[in-house]
Amino acid sequence: MTKAMNSSQEISILSAIQNYKDIVTLLNDSSRYGLHISLTIENEKSIFQKILNTKPDFVILEGKSGIELIRKIKSTLHLCTKCILCLSDLDKPSMISAIFTNADAYYLKDTFNESLINCIQCFIKGERYISPLLIKKIQSPVFNNRITLLNQLSKRENETLRLLSYNYSIKRIAEILFICEKTVEAHKNNIIKKLDLTGSRELRQIASQLYKDSPSAFDR
């Protein structure tokens, strides 16, 4: 669960999506729901630096480049920007792979009765958002199982689990997350307890299964 926001405050959004219709709908809906949104459109090539400089509340991204950017954002220390990943009519494996980015919201664009305002409203309430249409479209046990499992974990535990899937050592994970090795061990033990696993070996097996389609964004 994410931290709830005050709906009366100005919400800063940085967007790289090219769908003008979705942006216009977002602004129209925000006025209707009494939300104050400051929206900036940015080129994909420069958006990451813009995020680092301005630290917006939300960033709206799409496609493969958006997936890579979200991985970079999630691996950047002290960056609290929430990520909305816009998906188009992709094939099922591509959609499932996109879920592994650990975005804060998944939005299926170009779809009747689907609006970016749904994502914003969920964030204001301190919740994540996954398009109901996307869930119906996937209808995948892999997807459902992953969401069920990962919703039990904290953000740091999710990060630790993802790094374990790359077969990193405890020392390497501590270096990446800028925490001590004892803290990594504590996260690991919490994950084992929450997921009711038998130990470290099963934990790494589960991590590999959950993140098998997600390449490392840390050793580049």
Q: Can you tell me the distance from the alpha carbon of 133 to that of 115, in angstroms, rounded to the nearest whole number?
A: 11
Residues 96-105: pLDDT tens digits?
A: 667 667 788 9
Q: Structure tokens of 82?
A: 């929430």
Highest-scoring range by mean pLDDT, 15-24, 107-116, 210-219: 15-24
Structurally, what CATH architecture does the domain formed by 10-139 represent? 3-Layer(aba) Sandwich (3.40)
Q: Can you tell me the distance from the alpha carbon of 68 to that of 85, in angstroms, rounded to the nearest whole number?
A: 11
Contact 146, 45 (CB under 8 A): no
Contact 79, 73 (CB under 8 A): yes
Among 208, 202, 120, 196, which Cα is nearest to 164's? 208
**More confident site: 177 or 195:** 177
- As a whole number, the mean pLDDT across the chain is 80
Q: Can you tell me the distance from the alpha carbon of 33 to that of 140, in angstroms, rounded to the nearest whole number?
A: 34
Q: Can you tell me the distance from the alpha carbon of 212 to that of 166, in angstroms, rounded to the nearest whole number?
A: 9
Residues 32-44: pLDDT tens digits?
A: 888 889 989 888 8
Q: Can you tell me the distance from the alpha carbon of 176 to that of 109, in angstroms, rounded to the nearest whole number?
A: 34
Q: Structure tokens of 49?
A: 């630096």
pLDDT, position 1? 43
* Candidate CATH numbers 1.10.10.10, 3.40.50.300, 2.130.10.10, 3.60.21.10; the one for domain 152-210: 1.10.10.10
pLDDT, position 220? 40
Q: Can you tell me the distance from the alpha carbon of 119 to that of 123, in angstroms, rounded to the nearest whole number?
A: 6
Among 158, 157, 161, which Cα is nearest to 208's? 161
Residue 36 one-letter amino acid: H
Q: Is residue 182 over pLDDT 70?
A: yes
Pick the range with the lowest mean pLDDT from 7-11, 83-87, 192-196. Answer: 7-11
Contacts of 13 (CB under 8 A, 6+ apart): 37, 38, 39, 40, 56, 57, 58, 59, 60
DSSP 21: H
Q: Domain map of the chain by residue range? A: 10-139, 152-210
